[in-house]
Amino acid sequence: MKSWISYPSDCDFSIHNIPFGVIAFNNQIVLASAIGGYAVNLYELCMSELIEGSPDLYKTHTLNSFIAKGKPFTTGVRLQIQQLFSDNQSPLALSESLQKRVLIPIEKVKMQLPLDIGDYTDFYSSIDHATNIGKMIRDPQNALLPNWKHLPVAYHGRASSIGISGHTFHRPKGQRKPPDQDQPVFGPTKALDIELEMAFVIGKSTDMGQSISTSEANSYIFGMTLFNDWSARDIQTWEYMPLGPFLAKNFASTMSPWIVTLEALEPFRVKGYDQNPPVLPYLQYTGNQNLDIELQVRITPQNTISSLICHSNYKFMYWTMAQQLAHHTVNGCPVRVGDLMASGTISGPEPSSFGSLMELSWKGTKPLTLQDGSQRTYIEDFDTVTITGFCTSGDVRIGFGSCMAKVLPAL
C-alpha cells in the first residue's frame, strides 16, 4: 500500500498506521488522524461526506464518543481514510482546495489530551524489571514475590494527573526517610525517576459483574499509546507499605497524543513468554499476544544535547494485555470507554534495556554519563525526558510519535 502523500521511510505516521487523536488550531478543536507530516482534519472529511459519522462526532474535545461507536465503525473509518490517501484518484487526491482544509502541518496544531480518562490502572508486568527491583530492595535470591508469576500485579493510579506529551510539571514533594535518620523529613523528592511504559485504551464498556476473557480482550482494546509513569522513589520507599504507591506516583504521568489502533499493530504480534508455573485457566490464552515494539528513552538537560539512555522493547512483557484485562475484570470490576491501562515499567534482559533510572543507575550506585558530560542517577530539574516507539517489518513502519515532558523545580 502506497500513498500519494510523500514522507520519509522512517516516518511514524505512514499509510499503514492512521492513528487517532485530537487537535486544536484556528480556535477550534476536532478529531484528527495523521499521515506523513500532516494532521488530518476528520471533521472536514466528514463534512465532505468522505468518512462515516455525523459532524458533531468529530467536532469535539475527546475521542470517547468516537471510540464508543464500536470497532466495526472505527475500523471502517480508518479504512476509508487509508483509501482516500492510497488512491491517487480519490476525491481528496484530486481536490487541492479540499486538501487545504483537511491537511494541516503537524507543527501548526496543538495536540490535546485525546481521552476523557475515567480510570487509570498501572500494572507491573515486566519480569526483568520486577526482578531487578526485587534484587535491589529485597533478597536477591528471591527477587520476585510469591504471587508475581501467578497474576498480573497492579495498582489503581490517578487519572487527573495524566498529561499530554509536551507538558511540564513541578518536582513533587512529600515525606521521605533518609537511611541515616530515625524520623522522616518533608521536602522535594531527591530520587525522581522515569518509567518506560505503554498503555492500552479501553474501547468498549462493561457492566458491573461482567468479566472479560482473554479470548475476548482484544475486542475491548481500541489502541495503544506511549506512557511515562513518573515516580518519586524515595517517597515511595517510605510510604508504600502496606498499601502500595500513593504520592510517589500520583503527581504526574505522561502519554503520547496519538492512539495507534490495535488493528494497525496486528502484523507485529509475536510469541509471549513461556509462563511457568502454568497460570490459572482464566489467564490462559492462545496465539501470539505480545507485540514487537521498539522503545527508546532520551534525556535532554536544559540548553544542551539529548542522550539515549535506554533501548527496550514491548515484547519483554511477561503478562500480556489480554491477561491484564482478564485479571482486572475477573472479579466483576466494570471498565469504561477511555479507561487507560498502563503496562508498568518495560525492561529487557540487558542493562541497556532497563526502563527506569533506578535500574539503569542501580539505585544510584552507577551514575549514567550523558552526552554533555553531566551525570545522572535520577532526573534533575529542567531535564526533558522523551520516549519514542515504533514497529517495523520490511518497508512497513508504524510509530507512536513521542511522549515528552519537562521537570520544573518544586513549588
Contact 400, 265 (CB under 8 A): no
With CA atoms as reference, report the closest residue to 217 among 323, 352, 62.
Answer: 323
CA 288, 274, 391, 125 dihedral sign is: positive
Task: Show the cell assigned to 265.
Answer: 499493530
Q: Answer yes or no: are the C-beta atoms of 329 and 210 closer than 8 Å.
A: yes
Pairing of strands 103-105, 260-261: unpaired
Cα-based torsion angle of the residue sequence 131, 135, 138, 139 in order, rounded to the nearest 10 degrees:
100
Q: Are 322 and 262 in contact (CB under 8 A)?
A: no
Q: What DSSP letter does each residue of 6-63 carry, written as one string? A: ---TT-SS-TTT--BEEEEETTEEEEEEEETTEEEEHHHHHHTTSSSS-HHHHSSS-S
Task: List, by residue number, the catalytic residues.
Answer: 129
Under 8 Å between Cβ of 320 and 285: yes
The number of beta carbons lying within 10 Å of the beta carbon of residue 96 is: 7
DSSP string spanning 210-276?
----TTTGGGGEEEEEEEE--EEHHHHHHH-TTT--STTTTT-EEE-SPBEEHHHHGGGEE-----S
d(CA 347, CA 128) in angstroms, rounded, equals 6
- Longest CA span, the chain: 74
Other C-beta atoms lying within 10 Å of the C-beta of residue 226: 28
Q: Do the beta carbons of residue 205 and residue 380 sit within 8 Å?
A: no
Q: Where are the alpha helices (DSSP H) in 283-338?
A: 321-329
The sign one gets for the Cα dihedral 137, 250, 326, 200 is: negative
